Structure 1
Amino acid sequence: MEFTVKSNCLMFMLVVLGCLVLSHSQDFICSKATYFGSPDCKGNPSGACGYGEYGRDGNDGYVAAVHSPYRNGTGCGGCYQVRCKVGGCTDEGVIVVATDSGGGDGTDFIFPAQVYSEMAQPGLEGELLSYGVVDIEYRRVPCDFGGSNLVIKVHEATKYPYYLAIIIVYPPGVYDVVGVQIWQEDSKTWRDMRKPYGAVWDIENPPKSETLTFSFLLSATGSVDDGEWVDSPTYVSTSLEAGATFDTGIHQL
């Protein structure tokens, strides 16, 4: 019994050490993943990020609810390479975009069943699905859809000029948006926007102008402490219709 306990402890330490080395050298992090629904099930249109239908159909349906990468919503819209670590998994895994928050049984990713099964080699999808929960490794990667600039969308709750809400749809590269400001022309000052939840930022009594200018605090770690403010070189028209998207012109740092 003593031998079994020590052996298990040693094996656990080796797995943890392997994860740390892998994470340090290749930016992969060890975790677990699971799935929901039938093979034709899609993502959640009412997810915690606030994306609506984009949470179902974004990235051609390759979406995921995430736990640790959610980071109080700053991780929404980030893309991740995820690959399973059991027999019959591909080396490439899948690329998914985080559109919701969720976790359980130590998991950091919850996939639609079809996306989960595509981590398997051809013909072994059923075997992978039978595990239910599987060991994975994942890393943040730049999104390769929708261009590489930071894109915002007008939230359906916007009632300009009384209230403005925007959604960060495509963060640039591997950077999170951890702060948003809007330019107040009459006072020549930047005003902070509030993040009520997910990828949504809002402000009451926004500046009244024909165009709006935004600045974004971008961080590679999700922390405001190492973020860098980047002003958008483009302007947003105040003909703000719900669902309208705007390319900020901000690329990677």
Structure 2
Amino acid sequence: MELLNFKHQLGLICVMLLLPVLCTSQDTFTCSRATYYGSPDCYGNPRGACGFGEYGKIVNDGNVAGVSWLWKNGSGCGACYQVRCKIPQFCDDYGAYVVVTDFGVGDRTDFVMSPRGYSRLGKNADASAELFKYGVVDVEYKRVPCRYNGYNILLKVHERSNNPHYLAILIIYIGGTNDITAVDLWQEDCKDWRPMRRAFGAVFDAENPPRGDIKLRFQVRGSAGLNWVESKNVISSDWNAGAVYDSEIQLD
């Protein structure tokens, strides 16, 4: 076999070195793979690892996804992504806009999408049907802002909560490209903030929470780095499982 001359070897090395750059340089898109999971109604999974419940089934009209390393131990829950596949004859130029509601691992995939979300990858119904036959497709994706027009961040008291002994909360409708990395509650008797525990996914909890109205603040990771943002509203002292409170704030 004839050996490659030095010029050809150098060219091959340059191409190999550039491949990772080519996968991330197109308007900050990252190369990956995506698949889908079975669903009787094509919507999301209300039992997803983020703990979103019915919200995780219907948010974004059911265009949702489970992710692997993007899950970030739960702080990636609620993040929004633009995902587009790379088969020109079948794939829509814009692709799908999906919200992370679950943890999911496929065949070297970053996204395990609801059937509704996966179908949005195709140019039309016929193209989407062809993509379903593939099962797994090459994609590129990027983080995009979540937009919840008309909604502030809502605080939902989780169904496992039991006043006054145990409080768990779920934070939903987080706008922009922000992650909630920690939650504190105000301890009035100590005049100090007390950290809540990330119980699982996007659910934070505390045993023996303070009596009376409960004030919360959130540690937010976004384009401006890490910042603390305090809710303008409180969780009332008579809180019960299932109650929802408007924080009266939204993140850009």
TM-score normalised over the length of structure 1: 0.87
1:127 and 2:130 aligned: yes
2:22 paired residue number = 18
Question: How many residues are paired up?
Answer: 244
Which structure 2 residues correspond to residues 26-175 of structure 1 after superposition, within 5 A?
26-37=27-38, 40-87=41-88, 88-122=90-124, 123-145=126-148, 147=150, 149-175=152-178
SS in 2 for 1:177: strand
1:90 and 1:158 mapped to 2: Cα distance?
44
2:121 and 2:12 mapped to 1: Cα distance?
28
CA contact (8 A) 2:164 2:211 kept: yes
- Deviation per CA, 1:107-147, whole angstroms, max 9, x where unpaired? 11111223212211013112211221111121222222364
- Deviation per CA, 1:169-193, whole angstroms, max 9, x where unpaired? 2223111000100111122111110
CA gap of 1:13–1:147, structure 2 versus 1, over 3 A, is: farther
Q: CA deviation at 1:249?
A: 2.3
Q: CA deviation at 1:232?
A: 1.4
1:149 and 1:228 mapped to 2: Cα distance?
18
CA gap of 1:140–1:239, structure 2 versus 1, over 3 A, is: farther
Which 10-residue stretch deviates more, 137-146 or 78-87? Answer: 137-146
CA contact (8 A) 1:77 1:168 kept: no
1:199 and 2:198 aligned: no
Q: CA deviation at 1:238?
A: 2.7
1:38 and 1:218 mapped to 2: Cα distance?
33
Which 10-residue stretch deviates more, 138-147 or 200-209? Answer: 138-147
CA contact (8 A) 2:162 2:241 kept: no
Matching residue within 213, 216, 219 for 1:217: 219
Which 10-residue stretch deviates more, 132-141 or 174-183? Answer: 132-141
Question: What amino acid maps onto 2:199 in structure 1?
Answer: P
1:237 paired residue number = 236
2:101 and 2:93 mapped to 1: Cα distance?
24
1:54 and 1:39 mapped to 2: Cα distance?
17
CA gap of 1:40–1:233, structure 2 versus 1, over 3 A, is: closer
Q: CA deviation at 1:243?
A: 2.2
- Deviation per CA, 1:25-81, whole angstroms, max 9, x where unpaired? x23222110012268433222111111222222221111111122100001111111
CA gap of 1:102–1:12, structure 2 versus 1, over 3 A, is: farther
Give the structure with higher Rg (CA).
2
- Stretches of structure 2 lacking an aligned partner (at least 5 in a row): none
1:129 and 1:21 mapped to 2: Cα distance?
28
Which 10-residue stretch deviates more, 37-46 or 81-90? Answer: 37-46
CA gap of 1:8–1:171, structure 2 versus 1, over 3 A, is: farther
Question: What amino acid maps onto 1:115 in structure 2?
Answer: G
SS in 1 for 2:24: helix
Q: Report the aligned-residue RMSD.
A: 2.5
- What's the % identity of the aligned pairs? 47
Q: CA deviation at 1:151?
A: 2.1
CA contact (8 A) 2:92 2:121 kept: yes
2:171 and 2:101 mapped to 1: Cα distance?
11
